[in-house]
Amino acid sequence: MNYHDFHQQSIRDPQGFWAKEAELIDWQRPFDKVLDYSNPPFTKWFVGGTTNLCHNAVDRWVESQGDKPALIAISTETNTEKVYTFRELQQEVMRAAAIMQALGVRKGDRVILYMPMIAEAAFAMLACARIGAIHSVVFGGFASHSLATRIDDAKPKLIISADAGSRGGKSVPYKPLLDEAIQLAAHKPEHVLLVDRGLVPMEMAPGRDLRYDALREERMHAEVPVTWLESNECSYVLYTSGTTGKPKGVQRDVGGYAVALASSMKTIFCGKPGDTYFSTSDIGWVVGHSYIVYGPLIAGMATIMYEGLPIRPDAGIWWSIVEKYRVTGMFSAPTAVRVLKKQPPELMKKHDLSSLKALYLAGEPLDETTSSWIANELNVPIIDNYWQTETGWPILTVARGVENTPTRLGSPGLPMYGYDVKLLNESTGEECGANEKGVLVIEGPLPPGCMQTVYGDDKRFINTYWSNFANRQVYSTFDWGIRDGDGYYFILGRTDDVINVAGHRLGTREIEESLSSHPNVSEVAVVGVEDKLKGQVAVAFAVLKNAEAASTPEGRKTLEAEMMAVVDKQLGAVARPSRVHFVTLLPKTRSGKLLRRSIQALCEGRDPGDLTTIEDPASLQQVREALAG
């Protein structure tokens, strides 16, 4: 079918369209109504239907392919590798569910998971789903303060954690951070369940802390039936990355999410039972929820859970995994590809990658250089996809399962079915025409899979997302976009990454794109910095391909002038950064997003703010030194 018609159909007749997609999953009780949008912007999908995420991800497949691989847990940190079949996965999930039930966890109770990328984390997520408990996975890299805020927001009955994670071969203790977080938080969980990986000793709080292994031993033959949930009951809460401020608790449903994932696995990620999927994300992020744990399993595929760096023991590790497990689809982030790009290419070339059909990338803008490089190395389609924690699955990409839509460099693609995407003029709220820049919004109702509300705060949901244009209520993504004459969208950055130079509004991302076209620039961050005269000026921090060129003051001066000239030529002198600083590392979140707000704060002599998500604090030191020097 022609993709344009497919999309149109989904917008014109959402009920008919999604009723058909809903056949991709099992329902215990059929739904009475496909869509209830009587109380906008709150959307209810598949009203009255009962189903279960764990049933669809695990039990459903046990009969037809119980002995096929379901979960492949690989750690290059502990050098372990284990394959769980669907049957084994079901058994492990039932054991975990039985433990939770014994600890008093019931339907609707929250369970926080603060865990490394180990199989038990997936068991725990699925076990929660099985018994109707609401999981909230908190990224294992967060420190105690971030964890405490989430504990107080989610108010978990139980927290599941481990002795430690591991990064680059070094143990990263979790337990002391968890203890500190519980101390800091006003809410106290009844129990803490701990997976002991034998990495670091743990101090156990008597009565509160329990060992997963011991409780599992007692429940080897546990049978825990699935708790059927009404489609609109809550499955999980996941906090956004916090790139732009206080994280929001994204609340997700059951039925709509299951349908959206089953559908996207088929039409976007082109997966089917027997395929193997390798998403390099972390379960702490939305990609980990949708496309490590739930999506592939709901589609009957095997999924790989990987703990480790992309370059350890060497930069060939991911490709050796692709070869060994005959991976068919891979999902990663541009930031990881950039890391690989700096490594010797032979490591990729020596593996048999013939099973791989496509590489999907998301999370941040995919620049053309990175995209072309990896496309050339892998010789498979590189599919950019744009979405948010809030939406749970792609807003913009190409649905190759519907039609072999060509991709366009620099563009994530077209609006996905179910999403009525528009670009609105920020001040007038009018719709933009082709090649006019606007705020990317989605007309309600949001399709299945998207957030239901902000956990515990309906008002914040409405105020944050739906109240940005005076004359119309639409969902704002807070991203700038532009659409070309053929309907392809381009993301131009976040609405709060806009700077105002002498009355001209400029997207920092556009300036970054322009600077990146200088042949020696590998990565660059641009921020707006307060200026007495102009209001704001752009300041750039660049990572060079050949750092040698910036080793002397003269070298830096020449480079800076060259880079400014590039911007002058491409965007005009008004966009020219007032300074270009050279660093070897940019401040990023653990999920690979540039922390522009922290860079900006340092430039303006302020405190860099909440840094719990930062990948490497040394990057901020470099910014400080560059500013001082």
What residue ranges bind ligand ATP (CB under 6 A)? 240-245, 247, 362-366, 384-386, 388-389, 412, 477, 479, 491, 494, 593
Q: Which is nearer to ligand ATP, 328 or 389 (CB)?
A: 389
Q: Which is nearer to ligand ATP, 120 or 364 (CB)?
A: 364
3-state secondary structure of 44: strand
- φ, ψ of residue 515 to 5 degrees: the values are -60, -35
- At which residue do the structure tokens 């381009």 appear? 490
Q: How far is the CB of 267 from ligand ATP (least distance, A)?
A: 18
Backbone dihedral region of 146: left (phi > 0), alpha (psi from -120 to 50 degrees) or beta?
alpha
Picking from 213, 278, 262, 208, the residue whose alpha carbon sits closest to that of residue 53 is 262
Q: How far is the CB of 395 from ligand ATP (least distance, A)?
A: 9
The answer to whether the beta carbons of residues 124 and 157 sit under 8 Å apart is no
The answer to whether the beta carbons of residues 210 and 216 sit under 8 Å apart is no
Q: Which is nearer to ligand ATP, 51 or 240 (CB)?
A: 240
Q: Which is nearer to ligand ATP, 157 or 593 (CB)?
A: 593
How far is residue 476's CA from residue 462's CA, in Å, rounded to a whole number? Answer: 11
Q: Which is nearer to ligand ATP, 594 or 626 (CB)?
A: 594
Q: Which is nearer to ligand ATP, 119 or 238 (CB)?
A: 238
Q: How far is the CB of 248 from ligand ATP (least distance, A)?
A: 6
Exposed e or buried b for every residue in 501-534, given b needs 16+ CB within 10 A?
beeeebbbbbbbbbbbebebbbbbbbbbbebeeb
DSSP element (H, E) containing 99: helix 86-102
Q: Which is nearer to ligand ATP, 239 or 541 (CB)?
A: 239
- At which residue do the structure tokens 């007495």 appear? 532
Q: How far is the CB of 378 from ligand ATP (least distance, A)?
A: 18
Q: How far is the CB of 334 from ligand ATP (least distance, A)?
A: 8
How far is residue 497's CA from residue 173's CA, in Å, rounded to a whole number? Answer: 35
The answer to whether the beta carbons of residues 515 and 503 sit under 8 Å apart is no
The answer to whether the beta carbons of residues 101 and 131 sit under 8 Å apart is yes
Q: How far is the CB of 364 from ligand ATP (least distance, A)?
A: 5
Q: How far is the CB of 389 from ligand ATP (least distance, A)?
A: 3
Instruction: Name, in order, each residue with C-beta under 8 angstroms of 115's C-beta and a sequence gap of 6 or more.
Output: 121, 124, 137, 140, 160, 161, 162, 174, 195, 283
How far is residue 337's CA from residue 281's CA, in Å, rounded to a whole number? Answer: 12
Q: Which is nearer to ligand ATP, 181 or 362 (CB)?
A: 362
Token pair for 601: 């704060």
3-state secondary structure of 429: coil
Q: How far is the CB of 513 from ligand ATP (least distance, A)?
A: 12
For the beta carbon of residue 553, count every other beta carbon within 10 angstroms: 9
The answer to whether the beta carbons of residues 215 and 181 sit under 8 Å apart is no
The answer to whether the beta carbons of residues 482 and 490 sit under 8 Å apart is yes
Q: Which is nearer to ligand ATP, 248 or 581 (CB)?
A: 248
* Torsion of the alpha carbons at 14, 19, 24 and 26, rounded to the nearest 10: 130
Q: Which is nearer to ligand ATP, 189 or 365 (CB)?
A: 365
Picking from 372, 514, 492, the residue whose alpha carbon sits closest to that of residue 439 is 492
How far is residue 127's CA from residue 129's CA, in Å, rounded to a whole number? Answer: 5
Q: How far is the CB of 188 from ligand ATP (least distance, A)?
A: 26
Q: How far is the CB of 149 from ligand ATP (least distance, A)?
A: 12
The answer to whether the beta carbons of residues 394 and 1 sit under 8 Å apart is no
Q: Which is nearer to ligand ATP, 136 or 240 (CB)?
A: 240
Q: How far is the CB of 385 from ligand ATP (least distance, A)?
A: 6
Q: How far is the CB of 370 from ligand ATP (least distance, A)?
A: 12
How far is residue 583's CA from residue 618's CA, in Å, rounded to a whole number? Answer: 11
Q: Which is nearer to ligand ATP, 271 or 363 (CB)?
A: 363
